[in-house]
Amino acid sequence: MSDMGPIPTVKAKVAKIPLVGLGTWDLRGRTCARVVEQALRLGYRHVDTAEMYDNEREVGDGLHASGVKRNDVFVTTKIWPSHFAPRELERAARDCLVRLRLSEVDLLLLHWPNPQIPLAETLGALCKVKRDGLARHIGVSNFTVALIEEALQISSEPLVCDQVECHPFLDQSKIIAACREHGMAVVAYSPIARGNARNDKVLTRIGSAHKKTAAQTCLRFLVQQDIVVIPRTSKLERLSENAAIFDFQLSDEEMAEIAALGSRDGRIVDWAYSGRMKWD
Ligand SMILES: NC(=O)c1ccc[n+]([C@@H]2O[C@H](COP(=O)([O-])OP(=O)(O)OC[C@H]3O[C@@H](n4cnc5c(N)ncnc54)[C@H](OP(=O)(O)O)[C@@H]3O)[C@@H](O)[C@H]2O)c1
């Protein structure tokens, strides 16, 4: 059924995470279910959703329709910060599983930091949810270096990743270094900069030397650093394109040229919710 090779995984503490996953933010209804099903049929083995995306039911429909065995797919969902009080978190996690029609997810993340609830309480609840068998692994998203370090001190269970905005136009070297130091994976959201990579001259030129598109070159730049990518597309033909990034290698010079596109203020996702904290 699969028409691409197996997608490599990255090891993060006890977790093995496929380097390419399907992002599903903004995919809704039948389109969402169809894209998830097709991605899995093509060979994707990692799907990223969140309670906030309001599409877990459709993601679950796509997973079940694909016929791919449950154990072969890595499913991530995220708890929204308004559910970070311990009892709320446990209830929210159970609700996610009901909507997905799964007995556990592979990875459960805190979606954004919530300064109004003590991190120790939230992490205590997240660890309990894991111990109760609702999630195989736990992690965080949109956490700064300082917050990762605080979380690692508190958590009684391994935190396997920080999911953050990451693409060539945003310099995330500090968060990447901190994750490496602590054995956590970086999961790159908006990895093609919401489609902006497509029009970039450097990515287009380097890509054409490898017979690849700018989007593929952008994703390759990340996975070549062992950064997990979760590009989202609503177009079936782009599913294969976004995963066909393991049959070429960027040279050190090409990697450096792409890295030079990054700046500290290259963020595209609105950070209003987090109170605009600094990342280091
Ligand atoms: N943790 C968080 O706070 C957080 C925040 C944002 C996102 N995320 C996750 O990360 C995922 C990905 O991020 P994202 O959706 O913001 O952005 P993205 O994946 O960087 O970009 C998606 C956009 O790029 C286009 N696109 C996809 N493949 C393409 C290709 N090969 N060539 C040209 N354009 C292409 C898509 O359009 P078409 O649909 O027309 O292909 C879509 O408009 C989300 O879906 C979500 O799962 C997490």
- Name the closest-CA residue to atom 30, ligand 1: 215
The maximal CA–CA distance of the chain, rounded, in angstroms, is 54
Contacting residues for 188 by C-beta, under 8 A, at least 6 apart? 163, 164, 165, 166, 167, 222, 227, 228, 229, 230
Which residues are near ligand 1 (CB < 6 Å)? Answer: 23-25, 48, 111, 141-142, 163, 189-195, 198, 215, 230-235, 238, 241-242, 269
CA of 118 to the centre of ligand 1 (A): 31
Q: What is the mean pLDDT of the chain?
A: 95
Residues 91-125: pLDDT tens digits? Answer: 999 999 999 999 999 999 999 999 999 999 999 99
pLDDT at 256 over 50: yes
CA dihedral 200, 205, 206, 207 (to 10 degrees): 80
CA of 229 to the centre of ligand 1 (A): 10
CA gap 44, 243 in Å, rounded: 8
Strand partners, 280: none
CA of 196 to the centre of ligand 1 (A): 10
Query: Is residue 88 within 8 Å of 120, Cβ to Cβ?
Result: no
| Nearest Cα residue to 149 out of 192, 118, 179, 107 | 179
- Name the closest-CA residue to atom 7, ligand 1: 189
Residues 187-211: pLDDT tens digits? Answer: 999 999 999 999 999 999 999 999 9
How high is the pLDDT of residue 4? Answer: 77
Total length of the chain: 280
Residues 64-91: pLDDT tens digits? Answer: 999 999 999 999 999 999 999 999 999 9
Q: How confident is the model at residue 272 (pLDDT cuts 50, 70, 90)?
A: low
Active site residue 53: yes
Contacting residues for 209 by C-beta, under 8 A, at least 6 apart? none
Which is the closest atom of ligand 1 to the Cα of 195? 24
Query: Is residue 235 within 8 Å of 22, Cβ to Cβ?
Result: no
How high is the pLDDT of residue 32? Answer: 98
Q: Are strands 9-12 and 15-18 parallel, antiparallel or unpaired?
A: antiparallel
Instruction: Determine the angle formed by the axes of helices 173-181 and 145-154, rounding to 10 degrees.
Output: 20
Residues 19-64: pLDDT tens digits? Answer: 999 999 999 999 999 999 999 999 999 999 999 999 999 999 999 9
